[in-house]
């Protein structure tokens, strides 16, 4: 992890780990959605929030209100950056119920908006290869399979 934070890169252009990815405006916010080859999905709703799911559609990482969260044993923990002797380490803190509730509510709101955008023929999607149909089909399929309340993964890389 870098010692300094930077604004996100152009994920549509540079997000090569997400083989299938698309971008559109949702409620005036640029949203990038990417699918990795092993079935993981990432939702970038502007630069914040970011929701990353594993292949079983469970949350594995979240960036929310400028804070980082990671799945650990089926719960989310906050990862606070601390610089020690030129190295960056993350200190884990249990997530308080109020923050978790706000975060999950935001996720539900974004999923609803993204679902509406994916269903709408009026939504203009940009995709890497220019063909929006495979992207839109995979996005709709993933959204249909997603539980109403996504679970939390056992680990951030699970």
- Do strands 59-64 and 50-53 pair parallel, antiparallel, or not at all (unpaired)? antiparallel
pTM of structure: 0.86
Question: For residue range 94-115, what is the model confidence (pLDDT) as tens digits?
Answer: 998 899 999 999 999 999 999 9
Q: Which residue has the higher pLDDT, 10 or 90?
A: 90
Least confident of 54-63, 76-85, 140-149: 76-85
- Indicate if the pLDDT at residue 47 is higher than 80: yes
- Indicate if the pLDDT at residue 41 is higher than 50: yes
Furthest-apart CA atoms within the chain: distance in Å:
53
In eight-state DSSP terms, residue 140 is H
pLDDT on residue 6: 42
Report the C-alpha dihedral over residues 54, 157, 37, 124, rounded to 10 degrees. 50
Kindly state the percentage of the chain with pLDDT values over 90.
63
What backbone torsions phi and psi does residue 38 show, to the nearest 5 degrees?
Answer: -90, 5
What's the mean pLDDT when you consider all of the chain?
87
């Amino acid at each position: 992890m870098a010692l300094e934070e930077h604004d996100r890169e152009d994920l549509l252009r540079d997000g090569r780990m997400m083989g299938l990815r698309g971008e559109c405006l949702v409620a005036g916010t640029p949203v990038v959605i990417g699918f990795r080859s092993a079935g993981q999905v990432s939702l970038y709703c502007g630069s914040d929030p970011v929701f990353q799911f594993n292949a079983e559609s469970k949350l594995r990482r979240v960036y929310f209100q400028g804070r980082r969260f990671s799945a650990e044993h089926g719960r989310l923990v906050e990862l606070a950056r601390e610089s020690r002797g030129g190295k960056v380490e993350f200190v884990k803190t249990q997530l308080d119920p109020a923050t978790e509730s706000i975060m999950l509510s935001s996720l539900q709101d974004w999923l609803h908006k993204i679902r509406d955008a994916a269903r709408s023929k009026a939504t203009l999607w940009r995709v890497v290869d220019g063909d929006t149909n495979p992207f839109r089909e995979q996005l709709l399929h993933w959204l249909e399979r997603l539980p109403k309340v996504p679970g939390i993964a056992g680990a951030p890389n699970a």
